[in-house]
Structure 1
Amino acid sequence: MAVTQTAQACDLVIFGAKGDLARRKLLPSLYQLEKAGQLNPDTRIIGVGRADWDKAAYTKVVREALETFMKETIDE
């Protein structure tokens, strides 16, 4: 039987948060970890990039990336 363990809270910084690697690999992977309950609720994910984005605009980018690069549908 596999044992899952929630990681300690941390701050995760993604440089190039709107880039191809983030959209194709990092964001879907983080979504899967969260969905599986393996991210500590106090973990903060901080996106860094050259563009000036507000939270709503970047949330839209993340949602579009998940819808495009994940095989399953995303939960709200």
Structure 2
Amino acid sequence: MRIKGSSTRTKPAEAVTSRTTLEEQTAAFLKKGGEIEEVPRGISGQQQVSYFRRSTPATRKPAEIPGAKPAVKS
């Protein structure tokens, strides 16, 4: 008889456990002198980078050849 894999999976941690752990970690962080910064809604921590901009000779990096020694500028 074959045993199904789904019955052997462990159950995910309960939200109560996760919430308690998060509260403990936050309290320890604040006790060490850490500060929590409130970020306004709609603001992202990521930098504004356009992935679709056109590359130019000034912005391109020279090709790197695996195993080759990097050129040293003097």
> If the TM-score is normalised by the length of the shorter chain, which range does it land in?
under 0.3
TM-score by length of 2: 0.27
Bigger relative CO (Cα 8 Å, ≥ 6 apart): 1
User: Considering only CA atoms, is the larger Rg found in Structure 1 or Structure 2?
Assistant: 2
From the two aligned structures, give the one with the greater helix fraction.
1
From the two aligned structures, give the one with the greater strand fraction.
1
TM-score by length of 1: 0.26
